[in-house]
A and B are shown apart, each in its own frame.
Chain A
Amino acid sequence: MRGSSFGYLVKEGSRNIWTNRMMSIASVGVLVACMLLIGTAVLFSINLNQVMGYMEDQNEMVAFIDDDASAAAIKKIDAALGEISNIGSMTYVSREQAIEEYKKIMGDSGTLLDGLEEDEVFPNSYRIQVDDLSRLEETVEDVESITGIMKVNAPTDVAQTITSVKQIVYVAGTGIVGILVAVSLLIIANTIKITVFNRRREINIMKYVGATDTFIRLPFLVEGTLLGLISAVIAYLALWGGYTYVLNWLEENQSIALVSFTQNFLPFSSVTKDLLLGFVLGGVGIGGFGSMIFVRRYLKV
């Protein structure tokens, strides 16, 4: 293939986009719409996961230590706790610290607790965060079995709810994205089919005047790839704008109840690279290869 032909093929591919601009706009529209839907679903489910993760982190159990435990016994408990695999982090809270904290929580009424420091009202305790919330109950039992532990307070009901909600979010998120991808592929395939069908006459003539199959296909490849790339960029910019707008709006209209959620939303910059890469690869792949596949049908003359 000579240089002027290569130039022709690229020029022809780009020119085709303009000549068939209605079809090009339709294809880009379909691609952008599909990418926006998928992108939104992905962002939504990532953020939901993030929030669930945050809620998981908020869960801690408190293990109270027997009042008569000596310093040596507490050391043993410390070691025993360290051996339980599901424990992510733990802090020792002495009874003095516990009282101080309660005073803070009670604010002005804190003075009511004055003088109680000596009376051992609050036991020494450990605050324990678990790694895997779904194994909380099991971990509670492990902690309870340690000698010297008086009692364990753990939000097992909440943990169960969160775990199952998280599972639902994961399954539903994956499912929705999966369905969207499948539907998108169908719509895009159909759009490409129509585009190629509209040009069957050209393809047919090319065959009769002796154009090689490669020569017929390349402009379609160039065209499909370009359209995919354009769609990816448009979808990316639109999603970027939309997402940032929503985040700003949430920040300005913060409600107390939701603040802990919204704080955990990801900034767009943290998903930028993956999202753009996904869109470009998806767009270019579908555009390029889709056209190639559907042109094949008309090459059999």
Chain B
Amino acid sequence: MIRFTNVSKTYPSGTEALRDVNLEIQDGEFVFIVGASGAGKSTLIKMLLREEVPSSGSIEINGYRVNKLRRRQIPMFRRSLGVVFQDFRLIPNMNVYDNVAFALRVTNVSTRDIRRRVPYILSLVGLAAKAKSMPEQLSGGEQQRVALARALVNNPKLIIADEPTGNIDPELSFEIVDLLNEINKCGTTVLMVTHEHDLVAQFNRRVITIEKGHIVADDLDWRPQQ
């Protein structure tokens, strides 16, 4: 569960990125967060990842009181969530398998578990056949699926996707969101930031709209009005 209580964020430069945000997302939900650039989406994501702490208010994610976390506790907190970025952030000199296994290797998972878990996740995102390929040999959509596999591989309760379709051909974007949708059906909470309204409209999900640091809309059905 994610809970933001009266969260505000003002950067040292004086920019007020978020103003008094209250938000609650239950386990197993699928939520889109939409808003123009500069609306505060990025700040929201940074707080979810504990890259930034709020200037005031409190944040609770997966039972962690994020704004109170000590530096040493951050890694454990981050292991409870998976992140997908717009620019994939794959390691260019590692093949698909190693890119996914990397997330497990650096978090103390045994080799035996890695051998069992990685192929399963790769088949889940439909890339079992490309395990040996290098990232540069894959299309954007495939690269994002590798990133998604990496986010999923340690079985997180929450997936945060920051504009995951931003660098992908529109016809493949649907595929990615659909995959997130399937993952959500298995019980994982999914939080996807996007500004592609067309895409959001194709899925009947909760949509939170941010504008100038405020939540201006929080609707369940957000299909275009006829």
Chain A positions within 8 Å of B, measured between CB atoms, are 1-2, 4-5, 8, 12, 19, 201-202, 204-213, 215-216, 301
Q: Is B79 in contact with A2, judged by CB distance below 8 angstroms? A: no
What chain A residues lie within 8 Å of B72 (beta carbons)? 212
Q: Is B51 in contact with A215, judged by CB distance below 8 angstroms? A: no
* Contact code string B45-82 (vs A, CB < 8 Å = 1, else 0): 00001010000000000000000000010111111000
Q: Which single member of B89, B103, B106, B108 contacts A201 (CB below 8 Å)?
A: B89
Q: Is A211 in contact with B91, judged by CB distance below 8 angstroms? A: no
Q: A210-B76, A210-B77 are in contact. List 10 more A-B contacts (CB 8 A).
A: A12-B105, A205-B103, A206-B102, A206-B106, A208-B83, A209-B106, A209-B150, A210-B106, A212-B72, A215-B108
For the complex, is B93 an interface residue (Cβ under 8 Å from A)? yes
Q: Is A211 in contact with B107, judged by CB distance below 8 angstroms? A: yes
Bound Cα distance A19, B77 (Å): 30
Q: Is A210 in contact with B89, judged by CB distance below 8 angstroms? A: no
Q: Is A202 in contact with B91, judged by CB distance below 8 angstroms? A: yes
Q: Is A205 in contact with B91, judged by CB distance below 8 angstroms? A: yes
Given known A-B contacts A201-B91, A205-B91, A4 and B110 have beta carbons under 8 A apart:
yes
Looking at the assembled complex, report how far the CB atom of B49 sits from the nearest CB atom of chain A, in whole angstroms.
Answer: 7
Looking at the assembled complex, report how far the CB atom of A19 sits from the nearest CB atom of chain B, in whole angstroms.
Answer: 6
Bound Cα distance A209, B154 (Å): 9
Q: Which of chain A's residues has its CB closest to B78's CB?
A: A210
* Contact code string B90-131 (vs A, CB < 8 Å = 1, else 0): 011100000000110111101100000000000000000000
Interface majority SS (helix, strand, loop, mixed), chain A: helix
Given known A-B contacts A201-B89, A210-B79, A301-B51, A1 and B108 have beta carbons under 8 A apart:
yes
Per the CB 8 Å criterion, the residue count for chain B at the interface is 24
Q: Is B79 in contact with A205, judged by CB distance below 8 angstroms? A: no
Q: Is B89 in contact with A205, judged by CB distance below 8 angstroms? A: yes
Q: Which single member of A1, A2, A209, A212 contacts B103 (CB below 8 Å)?
A: A209
A-B contact pairs, 8 of them (CB 8 A): A4-B111, A5-B108, A201-B91, A202-B91, A205-B91, A207-B78, A208-B49, A210-B77
Looking at the assembled complex, report how far the CB atom of B46 sits from the nearest CB atom of chain A, in whole angstroms.
Answer: 10
Looking at the assembled complex, report how far the CB atom of A221 sits from the nearest CB atom of chain B, in whole angstroms.
Answer: 15
Looking at the assembled complex, report how far the CB atom of B148 sits from the nearest CB atom of chain A, in whole angstroms.
Answer: 13
Q: Is B91 in contact with A216, judged by CB distance below 8 angstroms? A: no
Bound Cα distance A204, B49 (Å): 12
What chain A residues lie within 8 Å of B150 (beta carbons)? 209
Q: Which single member of B92, B102, B111 contacts A209 (CB below 8 Å)?
A: B102
Looking at the assembled complex, report how far the CB atom of B88 sits from the nearest CB atom of chain A, in whole angstroms.
Answer: 10
Looking at the assembled complex, report how far the CB atom of A23 sits from the nearest CB atom of chain B, in whole angstroms.
Answer: 12
Looking at the assembled complex, report how far the CB atom of A296 sits from the nearest CB atom of chain B, in whole angstroms.
Answer: 12
Q: Is B75 in contact with A208, judged by CB distance below 8 angstroms? A: no
Q: Which of chain B's residues has its CB closest to A199's CB?
A: B91
Q: Is B49 in contact with A209, judged by CB distance below 8 angstroms? A: no
Looking at the assembled complex, report how far the CB atom of B27 sits from the nearest CB atom of chain A, in whole angstroms.
Answer: 20
Given known A-B contacts A209-B78, A210-B77, A301-B51, A216 and B111 have beta carbons under 8 A apart:
no
Q: Is B93 in contact with A19, judged by CB distance below 8 angstroms? A: yes
Q: Is B106 in contact with A2, judged by CB distance below 8 angstroms? A: no
Bound Cα distance A213, B78 (Å): 13
Bound Cα distance A208, B79 (Å): 8
Q: Is A205 in contact with B102, judged by CB distance below 8 angstroms? A: yes
Looking at the assembled complex, report how far the CB atom of B99 sits from the nearest CB atom of chain A, in whole angstroms.
Answer: 9
What chain B residues lie within 8 Å of A5 (beta carbons)? 108
Q: Is A208 in contact with B105, judged by CB distance below 8 angstroms? A: no
Q: Is B105 in contact with A8, judged by CB distance below 8 angstroms? A: yes
Q: Which single member of B51, B74, B110 contacts A2 (CB below 8 Å)?
A: B110
What chain A residues lie within 8 Å of B105 (beta carbons)? 8, 12
Q: Which single member of B76, B106, B108, B110 contacts A216 (CB below 8 Å)?
A: B106
